[in-house]
A = this chain, B = another copy of it.
Amino acid sequence: MKCSRCSVPAVLALPSHNAGFCQACFQIFVHRQVEKAIDKWAMLAPGEPVLLAISGGKDSLALAHILKQLGHDVRGLHVDLAIPGSSAPARAAVEAFCQTHDVPLTVVELAREGLAIPDVKARLRRPICSACGKIKRHVFNREALRQGVAALATGHNLDDEASRLFANTLRWDVAYLSDQGPRLEAEDGFARKIKPLFRLGEFETAAYCFLNDITYHMGACPYSQGASFTGHKKLLADLERTSPGQKLKFYLFFLERGREAFRQGEAKSGPSLSPCLQCGMPTVVEVCGVCRIRDAVAQRD
């Protein structure tokens, strides 16, 4: 197989794009996909700083590298979840990357805030994933506001977005469907959220890390076993194998054609937001979900 751009031998085949690339042209391909996402969705104004949530996995580190290479003013944010055996090596990968690539980094330690994930898990009766996600989003947003950075980026890739869309579609969850997309507008105390990797799959971000010598943390979260989104990812992978390119089309066609239909149906005025009485972050109730989790953990001690 030859490179689709320059005809030297390819190192990577991308059936979903009906293309193959040598190492240099794959780099260009990945950068262009991210540029296209940022431009088309007006994710960042020229020169605008961006706070990037970096977990230490392949996606967020690849995105940090790409944004830096594209000349963006990228600042890192890592949330140390305090999960034994998992959080320390993830944090180490982030710190090493940021030092090597000159990315300023803020680390937030959940243990210092009374929200160490193992403590939250011990307290909750329901699965930890949604609470952990809620806490991380809370911290991401708080830090963006604290640092005065309007744009908050995450490393969600096409597989993440397509499987989430698939799950929302299976339930025809109109509220979530009207709200899903690579750019979520800033509003009332919430930073603008952007997903510049949404056109690239996890195979592509993993290959990008490998070809750019980026050392990332590989272990799956020890608490995420059997989460249903992994099942949906597998199903979409089967679909992609039989019809290459279908996954990207599913997501892009949704953005082009599907989403608007759900938006029209949804009332524009949701419940009104006011500052949480404890932490001051926007919430629809008096005390926000994260403060209630913190209180529950504290009561246990």
Alpha-carbon distance A239/B254, docked complex (angstroms): 21
Q: How far is the CB of A243 from chain B (nearest CB, A)?
A: 8
Contacts of A253 in B (CB 8 A): 170-172
Alpha-carbon distance A261/B254, docked complex (angstroms): 13
Alpha-carbon distance A249/B173, docked complex (angstroms): 12
- Please, what's the 1-or-0 string for A242-277, where 1 marks a CB less than 8 Å from any CB in chain B? 110010011001101110111011000000000000
Are B174 and A261 in contact (CB-based, < 8 A)? yes
- Tell me how many chains of this kind the complex includes: 2
Chain A count of residues within 8 A CB distance of the other chain: 27
Instruction: Return the chain B residue nearest A231 by Cβ.
Output: B242
- Please, what's the 1-or-0 string for A89-123, where 1 marks a CB less than 8 Å from any CB in chain B? 00000000000000000000000000000000000
Alpha-carbon distance A261/B171, docked complex (angstroms): 14
Instruction: Return the chain B residue nearest A256 by Cβ.
Output: B172
Are B256 and A261 in contact (CB-based, < 8 A)? no
Q: How far is the CB of A171 from chain B (nearest CB, A)?
A: 6
Q: How far is the CB of A132 from chain B (nearest CB, A)?
A: 23
Are A174 and B257 in contact (CB-based, < 8 A)? yes
Instruction: Return the chain B residue nearest A234 by Cβ.
Output: B238
The B-contacting residues of A in range 175-208, CB under 8 angstroms, are: 177
